Chains A and B, each alone.
With several copies, the nearest count.
Chain A
Amino acid sequence: MNLKELYQEIILEHGKNPRNLGKTENFNKDAKGNNPLCGDNVHVYLKLNDQRKVEDISFEGSGCAISMASASIMTDLIKGKSDNEAKEIIEDFLGMIKENPELKNKILKEDDKTKLMCLSGVKQYPMRVKCATLSWHTLVSAMENDGKEVSTEN
């Protein structure tokens, strides 16, 4: 049974009570993402201040436990980081979901890394990888603010 690895307590908890859910005030960047195959969608809002620091970040959307937990943990960890740090964390996370056994960045604290590693259970569930990564790809799009809607289908 790998289900236990997929649905770790922290995932279930974040899935049930997602942090930073809603539309943050005074956001200056945002992007939408969707998974047309299963109907999941997410909208990421962020406020990047003059020092290029993520002053606030939130998301709206609905989805499975994995996708909600992933967005919740993501927003939690990205808040307060500079945009360069954020990009490094995103890249590290996506690399870990794709192939790397571990997270490599030196920005996050160990227990934050542990939270993120909890999402690595999806590796054994190829169809669920997109649930875990959609909000992250959407965050990239928001930061680049290119207005493109992110879709899992490409």
Chain B
Amino acid sequence: MNIDNIKKEFPIFDEKIQNNDLVYLDSANSSQKPKVVLDRINDFYSKQFSNVGRSLHYLAVAATNLYENTRSSVQKYINAKDKNEIVFTKGATEALNLVANTLGQSILEPNDEVLITELEHHSNYVPWHFLRKSKNIKIKFAEINEDGDLPIENIEKEITEKTKVIAITHLSNVTGAVLPIKEITQLAHSKGIVVVVDGCQGGPHLKLDMQDLDCDFYAISCHKMYGPTGLGVLYGKKKWLELPNKYEAGTMATAQVIAFDQSIKFLESIGIEKIIKHEKELIEYGQEILQKNNSVKLIGNPKKRSGVLSFTIKGVHPHDIATILDETGVAIRAGHHCCQILHDKLGIPASARASLGVYNSKDDLDKLNEGISNCKKIFDLK
């Protein structure tokens, strides 16, 4: 599949949004969906629908096979050792909750420490916070450096004998920093520490190789990977998890699981290397044009950045930026992006965030830049 034509695969870009072409720069929030995924949902419901796993009739058997097929596709896509290491959840948030519950019941004792980072999303803080309340564990925060990066040293120095778990994002949904998970896992495992990775942003932007990363858990948000809403994946090493059906209680998001197979196929048909290259070019271009604009301050300057560019404009609040950009069809997000800890640290209440998907182009970033100029004009800035 040709990356230059990829936008055509996404029906939404045929629409006018308030008379504008849609410049969608909010994929870190949720990505748009390619037609193959929508068609699969529609086809499944209109030609093959049945609940999975419980009935013996033809449709039920077929649906169960399709459902398990997706499990195998995910296994292959993320290079997990075993199909049973893949659990479907309603989202990454539920996946991370499930990990915290599992570890809370198996290994965490009062006063044990869970090490997270200042970059974490709410969803990778709240479950540990609950364990703090119910099990009296401690939460420690590895600090970011001046570049908004999280070098491994900053993790290492927070590790104590009490550290049992490191729970960490693969890719910051604010700074776009890519964290050295493989090295962190090596360090952690050498000290018997379990590694939980919030892979929400890693999912769409990075090569996923569980056996290489060697982390114990990895949480994925399917709707950010060109898949349906209401679906997440928890990868967990076999030694931590019972069989998936233990966690997949009640009727599952059957149609969504079955359609997610098409998201994986879509990603595979382009190839993650191509996606990474494309998005790297975009990020570099984005950084370049925004840095030229001297009212704009990029948030963080990580060594390796992917998928996300957050910024502030001196004198214009991010909400005002978002509203003004929206008027020309440029959809970004403003707020703290569920990363209040990071924003507190940076001393800002909110930021504006442009985030990328496979369908974006330099043109989109030019429109972002024009929108920013418009903000400055309205707010009478130089």
**Using a CB–CB distance below 8 Å, which chain A residues touch chain B?**
1-3, 6-7, 12, 16, 37-41, 62-66, 68, 125-128, 131, 153-154
Which residue from A6, A38, A68, A154 sits with its C-beta under 8 Å from B335?
A38
B335 with A39: CB separation less than 8 A: yes
- Does B331 touch A at the CB level, under 8 Å? no
A64 contacts B84, C-beta separation under 8 Å: no
Contact check, A153 vs B243: say whether CB atoms are below 8 A apart. yes
- B interface list, Cβ under 8 A from A: 53-54, 56, 60-61, 64-65, 84, 243, 245, 315-320, 323-324, 327, 334-336, 340, 343, 349-350, 378-380
Whether B245 contacts A153 by the Cβ 8 Å rule is: yes
B335 to A37, Cβ gap below 8 A? yes
A37-B319 contact in complex given A3-B327, A154-B84, C-beta closer than 8 Å: no
Most chain A C-beta atoms within 10 Å of own C-beta, residue among B54, B60, B378: B378
How far is B55's CA from A125's CA once the two chains are assembled, in angstroms? 13
Question: Chain A interface secondary structure, helix, strand, loop or mixed?
Answer: mixed
In contact, B84 and A39 (Cβ under 8 angstroms): no
* Pick from A16, A37, A62, A125: contact of B323, CB under 8 Å: A125
A3-B327, A64-B319, A126-B65 known; A154-B350 Cβ under 8 A? no
The answer to whether residues A7 and B320 also contact, given A12-B380, A37-B53, A39-B349 and a CB cut-off of 8 A, is: yes
Q: Are A65's CB and B317's CB within 8 A?
A: yes
Beyond A3-B378, A39-B335, A39-B340, 4 additional pairs, beta carbon < 8 A: A1-B327, A7-B320, A7-B378, A126-B61
Q: Is the CB of B320 within 8 A of A38?
A: no
List of B residues within 8 angstroms of A68 by Cβ: 317
Q: List 12 A-B contacts (CB under 8 A).
A: A3-B324, A6-B323, A7-B378, A7-B379, A12-B380, A38-B350, A39-B343, A40-B319, A62-B349, A65-B320, A127-B323, A154-B243
Partner of B317, one of A3, A37, A64: A64
Query: How far, in Å, is B368 (CB) from chain A's closest CB?
Result: 17
Partner of B320, one of A1, A39, A64, A126: A64
Residues of B within 8 A of A3 (CB): 323-324, 327, 378
Which residue on chain B has the smallest CB distance to residue A125? B323
Interface core residue of A6, A37, A38, A62 (most chain B CB under 10 Å) = A38
Q: Contacts of A12 on B, CB cut-off 8 Å?
A: 378-380
Residues in A whose Cβ lies below 8 Å from that of B334: 38
Residue of B nearest to A131 (CB): B319
B245 to chain A, nearest CB (A): 6
Of chain B, the residue at the smallest CB distance from A41 is B349
Chain A residues near B317 (CB-CB < 8 A) = 63-65, 68
- In the complex, the answer to whether A39 meets B336 with C-beta atoms within 8 Å is yes
A16 touches B349 (CB 8 A): no
CB distance from B227 to the nearest CB of A (A): 25
Do residues B379 and A128 form an inter-chain contact, with CB atoms below 8 A? no
Report the minimum CB–CB distance from A85 to chain B (whole Å).
31
Asked if A16 and B54 make an inter-chain contact with CB atoms under 8 angstroms apart, the answer reads: no
Identify the 9 closest CB pairs spanning chains A and B, nearest first.
Answer: A64-B317, A64-B319, A38-B335, A127-B56, A39-B336, A64-B320, A62-B349, A127-B61, A39-B349
Most B CB contacts (10 A, CB to CB) among A2, A3, A68, A154 go to: A3
Contacts of B65 in A (CB 8 A): 126
CB distance from A128 to the nearest CB of B (A): 6
CA distance A154 to B65 in the complex (A): 14
For A126, what are the chain B residues with a Cβ–Cβ distance below 8 Å? 61, 65
Cβ distance A37 to chain B, nearest Cβ, rounded Å:
7
Question: Chain B's nearest CB lies how many Å from the CB of A98?
Answer: 15
Inter-subunit contact A38/B327 (CB<8 Å): no
Task: Tell me, in angstroms, the Cα distance from A126 to B65 when the chains sit together.
Answer: 10
List residues of chain A with CB within 8 A of the CB of B335: 37-39
Q: Are A40 and B245 in contact (CB under 8 A)?
A: no
List residues of chain B with CB within 8 A of the CB of A16: 315
User: What residues on A are CB-neighbors of B84 within 8 Å?
Assistant: 154
Residues from chain B with Cβ under 8 Å of A63 in the complex: 317, 319, 349
A40 surroundings in chain B (CB, below 8 A)? 319, 349-350
A134 to B250, CA, bound (A): 24
Separation of A63 and B64 alpha carbons in the complex (Å): 22
From known contacts A39-B343, A126-B65, infer whether A66 and B349 are also in contact, taking CB-CB under 8 Å.
no
| Distance, CA A62 to CA B323, complexed state (A) | 17
Do the beta carbons of A39 and B243 come within 8 Å of each other?
no
- Whether the Cβ atoms of A128 and B245 lie closer than 8 Å is no
Across the interface, which residues of A come within 8 angstroms of B318, CB to CB? 64
Q: Give complex CA distance A63, B316 in Å.
A: 10
Neighbouring B residues of A153 by C-beta, 8 Å: 243, 245
In the bound complex, CA of A127 to CA of B317 (Å)? 15
Between B323, B340, B349, B378, the greatest number of chain A beta carbons within 10 A of the residue's beta carbon is seen for: B323
User: Is there contact, CB below 8 Å, between B53 and A38?
Assistant: no
Contacts of B349 in A (CB 8 A): 39-41, 62-63
Q: How far, in whole Å, are A62 and B312 apart by their CA atoms in the complex?
A: 14
